[in-house]
Amino acid sequence: MTTTISPTHRLSAVTATARPVAALAAVVGQQRHARLLSAADDFRTRFAGHTIWTVSSTASGGGVAEMLQGLVGYVRDLDIDIRWLVIGADPGFFAVTKHLHHLLHGFPGRLRLGPDTAAHYEDVLADNAQDLIGRVHPGDIVLLHDPQTAGLAPWLTHAGVHVVWRSHVGTDLQNAATRDGWAFLRPYLQHADAYVFSRRAFIPAWLPAERTRVIPPSIDPFAPKNRELSPDTVRALLGAAGLIDAPVTAPPVYPRRDGGSGMIARRATVVAESLPGPDEPLVVQVSRWDPLKDMAGVMRSFAEYVAPHAPGRLMLAGPALVSDDPEGALVRAACVQRWRGLPRQFRERIVLASLPMDDVDENAVLVNALQRHAAVVTQKSLAEGFGLTVAEAMWKGRPVLASAVGGIPDQITEGTGVLLPDPSDLSAFGVALCGLLSDPATRERLGAAAHERVRTAFVGDLHLSRYAELLTALLGVVPGG
């Protein structure tokens, strides 16, 4: 057993501020709110004296971290002991897990899995496991998120805790890549007590059906990324961050998660001939700099099929840096190179923006403002686990044009947005985008329906109620049994 833990392989705690569950009643209605409180009361009674531990690979920069900020905050307000930890790892580890991410989406990736990669993966997680075992107690529940944490499961089972592995990735169609990815993870996952997926089609056939659940992701309507902003505030925020050409007479103030106020202190890193004007129609895609988000494909489609025929500009916005995504800098650099190779008349219509990540709330409110300012939001992904940026834009009443991959069709139903069956069809994407840009009435109709779709199906109370059901059932099972 490892006795010396590398300082880079040590867990770190994340502070998630308690969020008032009572506020959700105004959004979801009293009946749903009461159902959540009842489920929480039952679970709290059964779980007294124990702790829920949720373990992820990063505290910011992705949908998992954003969801956890809200969900952990609401659970704390429900007076249930929950702690959030982030694993410590080196770039080599994250290169392996990024490769697994691609495999589980059905893409081959750039590495070859073998004894050396497995050994490094296990060594890093063995160190994290020793740290974690020193914190947990028998009967606790540990929620492990995604491939980065799967290797912790065997250690935790032996420590007498309940282990749930939560996958936020997957694809409907299995192929050689997905088989390789699941084959790598299977020896670790077989030690978990339960499994949670975003879609039923993502569940590998070898997992026992009675131990799997489907729980779709959710948004937090009161998070800085989703809460209401006035049009004037939106323009001021984007102007202060250097994302649009709008005058800023005073630093705009925005609400922070802890109840305080913040001001934009950093400017985005922008590649553009000029900034969009405040009244120009703006097409926005906000994604990680990830090849599966196909930012380059969006840019090419806009240049070839939209810019010659329709007004407006395109903005591709991603994070400045995400610790568990080593490909991000390479993908962004490739996009910049492609942009520089475009004719000037098309470069003038396209903006590449890297949003500052130093302050999580500041980054979130800039994404919020960008989505609210957009005439159309796109998500032309080649693959998605769920694609929660779609629900976030829909919540803001934006018409969304997206690929029919992963969990996106679960979000965009008939009349709530536009789905494209082939994510590689740049012409169809461009034609659909031109149609939306030229039809304000359709954009307004789709946006209103989109907001209601999210309110009905993807707000956090439903997410927590489903977890309460799963975890309550788990308490009657012997850990590792």
Question: How confident is the model over 114-144, as pLDDT tens digits?
Answer: 999 999 999 999 999 999 999 999 999 999 9
Burial class (CB in 10 A: 0-12, 13-18, 19+), 233: middle
d(CA 391, CA 63) in angstroms, rounded, equals 11
pLDDT at res. 327: 80
Check if the beta carbon of residue 157 is closer than 8 Å to that of residue 140.
no
Q: How many residues does the chain have?
A: 481
- Residues 210-236, mean pLDDT to the nearest whole number: 95
Question: How confident is the model over 145-196, as pLDDT tens digits?
Answer: 999 999 999 999 999 999 999 999 999 989 999 999 999 999 999 999 999 9
Lowest-confidence pick of 102-116, 276-290, 340-354, 416-430: 102-116
Average pLDDT along the chain: 94
List the 212-214 sheet strands across, edge first: 12-14, 82-86, 52-56, 141-145, 162-166, 194-197, 212-214
pLDDT at res. 324: 59
CA 207 distance to own-chain centroid? 24
Q: Residue 396 pLDDT > 80, yes or no?
A: yes
pLDDT at res. 243: 98
CA dist 442 → 412, 418, 429 (Å): 15, 11, 17
Q: Residue 447 pLDDT > 90, yes or no?
A: yes
d(CA 194, CA 478) in angstroms, rounded, equals 12
Question: In the structure encoding, which two tokens stand for residue 306, read together?
Answer: 């939209």
pLDDT at res. 252: 87
Q: Residue 384 pLDDT > 80, yes or no?
A: yes
Q: How sure is the predictor about 2, in pLDDT bands with cuts at 50, 70 and 90?
A: very low
479 Cβ contact list (under 8 Å, min separation 6): 138, 139, 157, 160, 161, 162, 163, 193
Residue 369 zone, left/alpha/beta (φ > 0; ψ -120 to 50; rest): alpha
- Residues 321-344, mean pLDDT to the nearest whole number: 87
DSSP string, 118-147: HHHHHHHHHHHHHHHHTT--TT-EEEEESG
d(CA 379, CA 390) in angstroms, rounded, equals 7
Most confident of 258-262, 418-422, 477-481: 418-422
Q: Residue 12 pLDDT > 70, yes or no?
A: yes
Best CA proximity match to 317, nearest among 383, 378, 385, 387: 378
Q: Residue 279 pLDDT > 50, yes or no?
A: yes
Best CA proximity match to 32, nearest among 453, 462, 395: 462
DSSP string, 148-163: GGGGGHHHHHHTT-EE
CA 367 distance to own-chain centroid? 13
Check if the beta carbon of residue 145 is closer than 8 Å to that of residue 57.
yes
Question: How confident is the model over 413-445, as pLDDT tens digits?
Answer: 999 999 999 999 999 999 999 999 999 999 999
Q: Residue 323 pLDDT > 70, yes or no?
A: no
- Rounded to 10 degrees, the C-alpha dihedral 54/60/61/64 comes to 20
Q: Residue 16 pLDDT > 80, yes or no?
A: yes
Check if the beta carbon of residue 127 is closer than 8 Å to that of residue 10.
yes
Check if the beta carbon of residue 453 is closer than 8 Å to that of residue 413.
yes
Q: Residue 256 pLDDT > 50, yes or no?
A: yes
pLDDT at res. 259: 83
Summarize the chain as % helix, strand, coil (round to 5): 45, 15, 40
d(CA 36, CA 48) in angstroms, rounded, equals 18
Q: Residue 325 pLDDT > 80, yes or no?
A: no
